[in-house]
Amino acid sequence: MSCVQHILLLTITYCLYRNIYKDSMIMAAPNTSPDTVAVLVTVEIEPSMEEEFVKIMTNDAIESRKEEGCLTFHLLKVAGKESTYSFYEAYENVDAQKLHKTLPHYLEWAEFKKKGGVKSQVVISHSGLNIL
């Protein structure tokens, strides 16, 4: 097989893969249950405790995503604001959210707050309308 034929074959394979993947994403059914709950939390962290915060919340996000009933968990750094982060988490229902708050990775976050690592916190609760 010539180099040109090989590149053509790879290109065709990639395009087919991409179209299959794209179609599967389009066909994914969103979670539209009125029982879905979500929170958007924005926190300003004590600068001296920021490294500890990132470690704890990265673990919380990773472990939360493994929970049955957790639809998503994202940890974000707020652009242009020192030591300020947001996290967005969504659950199938209130029971799944309550269970989350009993697990070790959440309790580590709660302990961090008790130690004074959070300068300010804003929590906005939501009900889910269309969550993939």
List pLDDT tens digits, range 57-87: 999 999 999 999 999 999 999 999 999 999 9
User: Is pLDDT at 17 greater than 90 in this prediction?
Assistant: no
The pLDDT, as a whole number, for residue 27 is 42
Q: What tokens were used for 85?
A: 């982060």
Residue 40's SS3 state is: strand
Cβ–Cβ < 8 Å for 63, 103: yes
Entry pTM: 0.73
Helices 104-114 and 50-65: crossing angle in degrees, nearest 10, is 160
Whole-angstrom Cα distance, residue 92 to residue 69?
A: 5
Phi, psi values for residue 127, rounded to 5° = -110, 145
